[in-house]
Structure 1
Amino acid sequence: PERAWDLTIKGNSVMVVSDGSALVGQGDLGPLAALPVLEGLSLFMRELADVDAFPLPVDSGDPAVIADTVTKISSVFAGVHLADISAPNCFAVEDALKGALDIPVLHGDAEGTAAALLAGVLNGLQVTGRIIEDITVCVAGSGPGAAAFRRLVDAAGAAEVRAAESQDAMHDLIKGADVYVGVGAPGSLGADDIAAMAAEPIVFALGMPNPDLDPSDAGGVAVFGTGRPDLPNQVNSTLAFPGIWRGLLDVRASALTDQAVMAAACAIANVVAEEGAVAADYVVPSVFNKKLVPAVAAAVADASQRAGVARVAPAA
């Protein structure tokens, strides 16, 4: 069976899976509407990381059916990329697949977004002269990105991580926080909330198509990032997942580990830091930065080897 990695398409192939229930900015439009989104993700993997990605929209909202479908065809692939599946079904699908498969499962909306966010926070701390061990982070939202980022920033050593799973809770928990990360409705975060934060706050408002905090209310923010391409500091999972997949495939990893996600975040941040270009309006690189994917891939491959999930060493 091991020869399949060399003699077939398996070794460089990833399936990109969705039921279309949580399309960005659109909600539940079903599997056919998800197809162009999955094609776009596949194109990013091909063009940025030389990964052969294949879209697989599944016509079922049942997480057990989705997981079973993916499992039954998994022998063709070296990895599974989940995208735009609504919570809580996305968690059930991810857990089921991780328990059933011996190939990595990457939830782009979770680990991909979390790695990109942590990279932005790390460089934002450089801008404001803080260290992560001293900061309080308010994370608003109950979706996969918020949950994954809470775990990741806690593992990175943040002094306090507050989970605000409702807007009312957010208005209270943001008080005194150094960092806000959230995916909320447009205008859910206001100037009064910013004033209640610690001095020189860092804010990543990833609501789409319009961020939680209107840019006109961000005057008191030291570092401001959104998910929009027309504003500085665009943060989304595309900063992370092409390089993560390249690194996982290069070592034929059997799983995506927390260490690999952390390594990806640090590598993304270092791309900017090594250019000596960290600034309030430049805390994450462009997804088209030529150094990004190789840096993330190398970090993920190394972390996978250290964690014991690599089948081979990366090619010299």
Structure 2
Amino acid sequence: MADQLDEVLKLHARHNGVLGIESEMAVNNRSDLGKAYTPGVAAISKLLAKDPSLRDRYTLSGKLVAVVSDGSAVLGLGNIGPAGSLPVIEGKSLLYKDLAGVNALPLSVAQVSTDEFVATVKNIAGSFAGIHLEDIAAPRCFEIEARLSQELDIPVYHDDQEGTAVVVMAGLLNAARVVGKDFHNLRVLINGAGASGIATARLLAAAGIKQITLVDINGVITPDDQRANAYQRQLAAQLGSHVNGSTLSQAIIGQDVFIGLSDANVLSAEAVQTMADQPIIFGLANPIPEIDPDVAQKAGAAVIATGSSQYPNQVNNILVFPGLYKGLLSSGLKKVSLELETNVANALANMVQEPKSEHIVPGVFDEGVVKTVAEAVVDFAKANA
């Protein structure tokens, strides 16, 4: 482990990170210089001064995504601040480029008020074709995304919300097929009601699952639970009540599905044994899942997924965001809606033609993942033009 850490540190130090900037044209002589810079750009500058919308055609802004974080909720690490977030968002920007050919720029923002954060992103948004929000703590991440989506004319996407929700739904569609249960009639318990838990519940409800229960560290969330935030209470009211009892161990009795977006080792083998026949376990906490997959299997779990590459069925956002933005940029679509997310989730699920207990989602490096997601976005845009 120490040797691996040392190798990682040396790699990142040698290159000052994992990203660089490459030019789209060579500047080898005075003629090239005059076209790429002065005096040639003066004509373009005057053109954009008259019509700023043309910047997407004549500058990098038409193909550049900002990956923005304040480091307040980094998966597995917690609140590590803006500087701590940089390696994460730099890595995501690298994946955008290498997997999908999408240009992305990591931007860390100080941990300021919601109003200041929104204002900061709005003030720089003219340089970008889309905004990818990353690792921003709930509940303010909901307001930040909602306001930016409403006030900007470019796509705004929060990977911890939409990315997680899409890949969870894709996996659950196929898990239901494996155990021979109707997707819409699944009884689902979501443990963890932060950004990813709320977004996943919203998407599964929009996709037609009728019985969803939200649980957090305090137990089952109810509409009048003053320990919960307004977004959690509102969603609890929308979902309705489907369980007796208030604790995780009580609420999980008879459930078909456990989706963990919470913390390590919070689910016991005994709890799995109280679930419905052929239970589905998504223990997605990283780096340690809510229950060890071997323990879950011995307790009777029929399908098990984690967020880790160490086990089969890695349910990870990387299956979504590169292709999603590739599709958004090529289609001109401006909003990431629940309907679009559903379309992408179905496309991802359909990549696995014969799902099995250890193969319910495509692999991270499977050929065609980015293309499938991008085409799902483009098809959705055409159908809703």
- Please report the TM-score for the alignment, with normalisation by the length of structure 1: 0.93
- Give the conservation status (yes or no) of the 8 Å contact 2:206–2:338: no
Counterpart in 2 of 1:314? none
Q: Which amino acid aligns with 2:71?
A: G
Within the alignment, does 1:5 sit opposite 2:5 as a pair? no
Within the alignment, does 1:189 sit opposite 2:189 as a pair? no
Equivalent of residue 214 in structure 1, options 279, 292, 299: 292
Counterpart in 2 of 1:117? 168
1:21 is paired with a residue of what secondary structure?
A: coil
1:242-262 residue CA offsets vs partner (Å, 9 max, x unmatched): 111111111112211211111
Aligned residue runs from structure 1 range 156-235, under 5 A: 156-166=207-217, 168=219, 169-219=247-297, 220-235=300-315
Counterpart in 1 of 2:105? 54
Q: 1:2 Cα shift? A: 4.1
Whole-angstrom distance in 2 between the partners of 1:252 and 1:102: 10
- Give the conservation status (yes or no) of the 8 Å contact 2:313–2:361: yes
- Give the conservation status (yes or no) of the 8 Å contact 1:259–1:307: no
Whole-angstrom distance in 1 between the partners of 2:70 and 2:114: 9
Whole-angstrom distance in 1 between the partners of 2:72 and 2:112: 8
2:325 is paired with a residue of what secondary structure?
A: helix
Q: 1:34 Cα shift? A: 0.6
- Give the conservation status (yes or no) of the 8 Å contact 1:267–1:295: yes
- Give the conservation status (yes or no) of the 8 Å contact 1:134–1:159: yes
Counterpart in 2 of 1:313? none
- Give the conservation status (yes or no) of the 8 Å contact 1:104–1:253: yes
Q: 1:165 Cα shift? A: 2.4
- Give the conservation status (yes or no) of the 8 Å contact 2:253–2:276: yes
Q: 1:61 Cα shift? A: 3.4
If asked which structure has higher relative contact order (CA below 8 Å, sep 6+), I would say 1
Whole-angstrom distance in 2 between the partners of 1:70 and 1:305: 29
- Give the conservation status (yes or no) of the 8 Å contact 1:21–1:61: no
Whole-angstrom distance in 2 between the partners of 1:203 and 1:112: 19
Provide the identity percentage.
Answer: 40
1:82-137 residue CA offsets vs partner (Å, 9 max, x unmatched): 11011112112112211210111110000000000001001101111112122111
Q: 1:306 Cα shift? A: 3.0
Equivalent of residue 288 in structure 1, options 352, 356, 365: 365
What RMSD in Å do the two structures reach over aligned CA positions? 1.3
Whole-angstrom distance in 2 between the partners of 1:20 and 1:103: 23
Q: 1:307 Cα shift? A: 3.4
Q: Which amino acid aligns with 2:214?
A: A
Whole-angstrom distance in 2 between the partners of 1:20 and 1:136: 34
Within the alignment, does 1:298 sit opposite 2:353 as a pair? no
1:303 is paired with a residue of what secondary structure?
A: helix
- Please report the TM-score for the alignment, with normalisation by the length of structure 2: 0.77
Counterpart in 2 of 1:254? 334
- Give the conservation status (yes or no) of the 8 Å contact 1:187–1:214: yes
Aligned residue runs from structure 1 range 261-280, under 5 A: 261-273=341-353, 276=354, 278-280=355-357
Within the alignment, does 1:43 sit opposite 2:94 as a pair? yes
Whole-angstrom distance in 2 between the partners of 1:162 and 1:36: 35
1:196-248 residue CA offsets vs partner (Å, 9 max, x unmatched): 11111111011121000122321211110111111111111111111111111
Q: Which amino acid aligns with 1:264?
A: V
- Give the conservation status (yes or no) of the 8 Å contact 1:141–1:164: yes
Whole-angstrom distance in 1 between the partners of 2:194 and 2:308: 19
- Give the conservation status (yes or no) of the 8 Å contact 1:206–1:226: yes
Q: 1:167 Cα shift? A: 5.6
- Give the conservation status (yes or no) of the 8 Å contact 2:132–2:156: yes
Whole-angstrom distance in 2 between the partners of 1:85 and 1:259: 24
Q: Which amino acid aligns with 2:94?
A: L
Whole-angstrom distance in 1 between the partners of 2:62 and 2:337: 19
Whole-angstrom distance in 1 between the partners of 2:77 and 2:91: 16
Whole-angstrom distance in 1 between the partners of 2:279 and 2:66: 39
Whole-angstrom distance in 1 between the partners of 2:77 and 2:378: 35
Whole-angstrom distance in 2 between the partners of 1:27 and 1:61: 17
Whole-angstrom distance in 2 between the partners of 1:305 and 1:149: 25
Change (3 A) 1:199 1:229: same
Larger Rg: 2
1:55-102 residue CA offsets vs partner (Å, 9 max, x unmatched): 010012322211111100101111100110111121121122112101
- Give the conservation status (yes or no) of the 8 Å contact 2:72–2:111: no
Q: Which moved more, 1:125-134 or 1:110-119?
A: 125-134
